[in-house]
Amino acid sequence: MKAVFLMADGFEDLEFFYPYYRLKEQGIETVVATPGAETVVGKNGYEIKGAVPLEEVGAEGFDMLILPGGKSPEKVRLIPAARQITQDMMNSGRMVASICHGAQILISAGVLEGRNATCWRGIADDIMAAGASYRDEPVVVDGNLITSRKPDDLPMFCRELFANLQSGVLSS
């Protein structure tokens, strides 16, 4: 089992570290893709070194895609490979999990049409304009898509990640 996180500077530290370590706890291999595989800095100053260049990341070999929020998604969504892996993961039925502003990547990848989703309230209009039905709930599960609103929702977000892992949503 292998998960990939797409990140750039300004990521919301809790929205990365909480699921990152929870996945590692469960024995799931975690890979961080950043621009140029460089070190990125979170909103609160924590650093994480990328293992894979974001510009070259692809869906092959990954079972799960995690999109943390913060200011990072504004940068990540501009990278064609990030949009492509998001499309490929969604279209193949593999798990895609987004929290907060991570939905901006889903919007730019064009994968929200007809989906139920949640996000940070400030971009709710954006996901509705992208064709999603917005739900102001801590976590929304729609098939292989798991979305959440904010750091306070992380316990429910991770609970759904693991419930869906156990139910066999992943393709491995």
What pLDDT is stored for residue 125 in this prediction? Answer: 98
| Spatial CA neighbour of 63 closest among 99, 98, 29 | 29
Active site residue 110: no
Taking the C-alpha atoms of residue 107 and residue 131, their distance in angstroms, rounded to an integer, is 9
Which segments of 26-72 are extended strands (E)?
Answer: 29-34, 39-41, 47-49, 52-53, 64-67
CA 66 to CA 85: how far, in whole Å?
11
**pLDDT 10s digit of each residue in the chain, 172 long?**
999 999 999 999 999 999 999 999 999 999 999 999 999 999 999 999 999 999 999 999 999 999 999 999 999 999 999 999 999 999 999 999 999 999 999 999 999 999 999 999 999 999 999 999 999 999 999 999 999 999 999 999 999 999 988 776 543 3
Active site residue 119: no
What residue type is assigned to position 141 of the chain?
A: V
User: pTM score, two decimals?
Assistant: 0.94
Topology given in CATH for the domain delimited by 2-166 = Rossmann fold (3.40.50)
- Strand pairing report for 52-53 and 29-34: parallel
Q: Give residue 165's pLDDT.
A: 81
Q: What is the pLDDT of residue 166?
A: 76
φ/ψ (deg, to 5) at 47: -110, 150
Catalytic one among 57, 59, 97, 100?
A: 100
- Which of 101, 115, 149, 150 does the annotation list as catalytic? 101
